Amino acid sequence: MKKKILLLIMIFILIMGLGNCIYSKNSQLSKSEKIEDFEYLYNNIEKGYPYLNVNKRRYNVDWLENKEKYLKRIEDTPDDEKFIEEMSSIVGDLHNRHTELIDNKSRFELFETAYSNNNWYDFLNDEKVINRYNSIKPKIKISKEHFFKKELTLKDIIKDKVGYIYLPSMSSSGGSFNEDFNKIGDYINTLENHKALIIDIRDNAGGSDSYWQGILSKLIKDDTKVSGYRIYRNNCKTIKKYTQKRNIKLQPIKNLPEHIKKNGPKEILKQFTDFENTSYTIKGNPNLKFKGNIYLLVDEQVFSSSELFSMLCKETKFATVIGESTGGDGGVIDPVLINLKNSGLIIRMASCMYLNKDGVCDEELKVIPDYKIEDCEKTSNFKNDNCIKKVLEIEKLN
């Protein structure tokens, strides 16, 4: 009897194993499904992506012309895992950090949480989407954050002479903007007789514009106006649906000021349909006692919200910028999310192009520092930090 039971158990395990193999095999995307997903992505990029010509000029990549090459790569993928890798690589050819294939569960959950309180997307809770991200094997990545603790830092580099504020992100690690603003405001109040203040945003990949605006308002005496334009390819159904959901007040692209049409990228009037005026004012601090020089330390990791702060510092001469060229794409709104129906995968795509008050496209030109530093890496020791050494050299304190 025991032998029969054992035999039945073994047969059951074998059947289950075969069943799993069959399920695994059958659950893989077919070639036609992969192609359909790629075609859907291609159509959205072709009609809605804002930086196709920027990508040609800056990186010599004609993404649309590569279609047949990309299709061949997709067709040759043996399984879903390789398909995801190829799609991620193909999207990577657009060279924009707001544009990516979401290729892991933790990143998907980040966006799922971020957009849970609005009605912009109706697919984040789809079973196919959730199953896809549950099935993706996690990849182990070692980040610099494991070696350097990134936290708000407020301290003098040279006591009573050179102040220092390190902003690791345009958000609060403790979750409270006001708590950070109070700490930073208290520190700024100690700088009355200092010669200089360093604001370090190296490795700062962005966050919220409200964060840096709150800090800036403590360091300027007079109100400061920030002007720019976001331009959209609103003929794309995905972009149009997005701008409508967000109730963005758009104007026809032909109504852009003449100097913006003249100075902006040549494709503005041909490829784009609408624009949004982004002018606003940051309130000043009439009680500000600090009168010294301000320096902003940047690197290529500076991006998005921290990029816009860098742009303002350079344009208004609020601070002398030191380091290396930044990462770009400041002044824009959140990227749009695109769901690929067959695979359940989600693509993030830059939703618009930002032009500053002069018509310059930041994603193309970035912020070029006033003083370029060959090795501008942030160090744990101020004495070995080349950017800080440059500040001390300029201030004749080295």
> Cα–chain-centroid distance for residue 7?
58
The alpha carbon of residue 109 and the mean position of all alpha carbons in its chain are separated, in whole angstroms, by 17
Phi, psi (5° rounding) for residue 63?
Answer: -60, -45
Cβ-proximal residues to 175 (8 Å cutoff; 6+ apart), any chain: none
Distances (CA, A) of 178 to 67, 174, 212, 284: 49, 10, 12, 17
Rounded Cα gap, residues 60 and 292, in angstroms: 43
Q: How far apart are CA 166 and CA 182, in angstroms?
A: 15
Average of per-residue pLDDT values in the chain = 91
pLDDT of residue 140: 59
pLDDT in tens, 113-141: 999 888 899 999 999 999 999 999 876 55
pLDDT over 80 (residue 239) = yes
74-107 tens-digit pLDDT: 999 999 999 999 999 999 999 999 999 999 999 9
Phi, psi for residue 232 in degrees, rounded to 5: -125, 150
pLDDT band for 11, please (50, 70, 90 cuts). Answer: very low
Q: How do residues 356-392 score in pLDDT, each as one tens digit?
A: 999 999 999 999 999 999 999 999 899 999 999 999 9
Instruction: Centre a 10 Å sphere on the Cβ of residue 114 and count the other Cβ atoms it contains.
Output: 11
In the chain the domains, ranked by start, together with CATH numbers, are 30-135 (no CATH), 151-226+285-331+368-394 (3.90.226.10)
Looking at the chain, the whole-number percentage of residues with pLDDT higher than 90 is 87
Q: Is 247 in contact with 272 (CB distance < 8 Å)?
A: no
Query: Quick one: pLDDT at residue 10?
Result: 52
Predicted confidence (pLDDT) per residue in 244-294, tens digit? 999 999 999 999 999 999 999 999 999 999 999 999 999 999 999 999 999
Residue 378 — φ and ψ, nearest 5°? Answer: -70, 135
d(CA 213, CA 287): 17
